[in-house]
Structure formats: structure tokens, C-alpha cells
Structure 1
């Protein structure tokens, strides 16, 4: 199964979307998906599990997750007590990064989550009240559509990111997700992160985990929602997108550096996951 590229119905001048207080269903929840936009997920009620990049976490009332762009993730709502959550999506180009003489970034919570590979943030009662108030006001502004509503939502987003930074910067890192995944699975995901551009596959990974290929494949799919081949290919694709924007290397060189032996296969997979060709992606991003 390949990850789903989430689509946003938003104006280019206002790259923002919100899934407001949606009750998740394990039958209808999106498969593994990724997108260029940043995402905040706040849990209002219910329970479940969340797989993000290489981490597994429980989802409970009051939980907050900060997911940077181009990060594989999937929620697994509980069948009996499904999650009701709000997801706020935005492109980082919507965020004003004006230094103003002090070292501060509105995207700090995402930057720290990316560096730590831990995407669940500890929250305080005050922050939970602030999040619920802000997402309610965002929803009301979008529903009313009064002139200036996009500016209002953008200001609310900046205020929310500031509040998250202030409330979470002094808190300890959120604890890992308990017994959701065995230790060897965590180790394997770390190993894949370090070697996904190399020629690795099910046989090597299952041997490294000291479990049978069948058991490895079954549990990997159950916990991440993807098979090993698709997961590694998607990791390579994310890296290829980064290199397309950060270097002037040719598409063929980038495909080879990311572990793709065939340039036509790289083109087909890139278009399937990203929605455009590598060259077009580079042109669109630069413009």
C-alpha cells in the first residue's frame, strides 16, 4: 500500500485548512498519508494510537501532536471509543518569520519535534483551554466568511503557535507510547532511518529483529499501516524531494543517491506519491 497524498481545497494565497472536531472511524480514517503542509492535531475526546514517522503514541483527550511537512503518519482510532479531534493544516509560507531582534520561530515546536523524532507534545490545562478556544474561533471565522476572516484566521494561527511554544518549551518531553510496539520494532524503524537509501528489505530486517519474515511483515503492516517495501520507498521519496530543493544535482543523480536503481521507476513513483514529475516539482517550488 502506498501512502495517500492528502489534497487540500485551498486558495494558493491562503494555504490553510481545518478538520474541525471530526469523529474518527477506524474504517474511514485515511491510510498512511503525507503532505507538504504542517499539521497540528488536538484530541478532544476518545482514544486511539498514532504512528508518526518512526514513533508510536497513544491518543487521549488533551493530547497535542505537531507534525512537520513530508512526514508519514496515520491515526488508528479505537473501535469502541473513537477519537474526536481537530487537525489544523497550513503551509509554512503563511507564517511570518520576522526576527524583531530576538531568536524566535513560530515553527519551533515542529523543528524540535523533527529533531527529536518525537511528535507528541506535553500540554498544560491552560494550553488545552487555549487550543480549544482558538480552533473554535478559527472555525467560526471560516464559517462566517466576514471580510477579513482569512487575516483573522492567520492571526489566530500565529497566536496559537506562540502559545504552544511558551507553554511547552519548559515542559519535559512527552513520554513514548508505552507498549504499543515491541522494542525491536522501534529499533528497526531507527535502522531504516539510517539505511533506507541502501539495498535493504524484508529478509535483512526480519533477521536483524530476530523474528520470522512472516511475523515481521504482519506486525509491521499492523503497526504502521504500510508494508516494508512501500515504507522504504516513501522514505526515499521524501529524501528525494529534499534534495530536489536543496541542491542543483540532476534528477538521475538524486534518484541514485536515494537508492532508486531505475530512473523510470523513480519517475513513476514520484508522480504517484507527489502528484507531479521531479522536474516540475523543482520548478514549482522555486517559483
Structure 2
């Protein structure tokens, strides 16, 4: 994710998932207003409506129909749909295979023209969104900030091809700049995917750099510029979020979670976990589930 300038966050007391976050990068700003959720109940529907902003829909379970003025499309698991500003649309959940949706209105400032409608498969979103939902209900503001940044990263990953096209047009006549931008983005995305898939093994920067076919020094520089985080800190936070999910959503013994993270003893795992949450794994689990 490519951003610079500033990040501002608000936490209104309006129930689950409400957030206001603005991220500035280059000449573009993305502002996320809140994360909404519709549980997978048979036959639910959302009446025709529109927004002045974009609205991203993440379908994580089941199937349904999205209708808009010029037709309709099928919604199914792991599909992402972005409605452009002003589009009138309505959703209907299937009776036999009810649909679960996360939705997020957001604004983009600084565009030369509106982005087109997006409708595409986007795997690996269900676990990510369920984890974010669970963590937002149970963690303090500092950690909420980190998981909310993951929401911004999801939006960025989905809309970046369209933004890249606009950026390329803007820099037409300067192909070197556009080429470096795209190459760096691809490196960071490849590194993040590898970390996501191998976080339990605690991969080192040399291992990730080899997958990205660049030097560890170059990867460190590009990753830190893009994510405003060292690659080591990013890996450890990914591992911490995984540990939180296992503590909250499973009944695994703490020793088993520690072993899966390759952290050795229960005592070391407890010390490592407390460096993020200020609570031991046992206290964290008991506080949330009594």
C-alpha cells in the first residue's frame, strides 16, 4: 500500500465496526467511514439505495443477487463488488444458501475521474474480515488502529489497478517513473502474500527476498517505504493477529498455539504475546470469554 502525508482516525461510539480513517498517498486520499456487516440469514434483502461515496461489498458466505438500474449480477463467496457513487442498487440473499456481506462506504479525493464499477473474485478475504470483526469487538484502540489499517489495505489492493491506470496516464511521457511505481507495488504485494501464507513459520527477510527475486536490503527499503513498518514488525503483527484469532475462536491449549507459531515454550509465548497486548494469553482469553 502506497501512502504518505497523514493518517487520521476517529472512533465514534456507534456500535460494531464504526470507524473513520483517512489515508493520504501521493495526490490521492482515501477516507473510510465505517465497516458494516449483514449476517447470513435466509431471504434477507436491502432495499434500493445509493451513496454519494463508493461502496465496497465483500461477500464471504453464501450467494445472492445485486440489482442495479441497468441489470443484475450474482453475488457468491469471495466476490468483491464496488458500486460507484450515485449507483442505485439493492441486494437479495438466497433462501437456501444465505449470503454474508461486509460492506464499506469510502471516498477517494484527488481523482481526475470516477473509478468504474468493480466486480471480481478476490480470495482470502473471509478469514481476514472475520478476524478484523472479532478483533474490533475485543481489542483496545491501539490494536484496532492496526486492524483498521488492514481494511484500508484491502481496499487499496482492489482499487489499485484502476488507480495505476490513472497514474500511468498522468505520468505519460515519463515511463521510468510509472515502471518503478508498478514494480515496487508488485514486490510489496508479493511479499505480503508470502508472509500471509507462511506467517506461522516466521519467515526471515532473506527468505522473502528470494521469493521476490530481489536483495534483502532492497526489499527492506521498498517494504518500509510502502507500509511505514519494517518487514519484521509486519510479520510479528501478522502472527499476533493469528494468535488472537486462535485464542478467541478456538479452544486450543495455549501450548498448542505456541507450537504452531514455533515459539517454543509456553512461557516464551506468553512474554511475546504480552509485548503486543499487555496481557498474557490466558488473561486475554479469560477476559473475553469469562
Q: TM-score, normalised by structure 2?
A: 0.48
Higher strand share: 2
> Whose relative contact order is higher, 1 or 2, with alpha carbons under 8 Å and at least 6 apart?
1
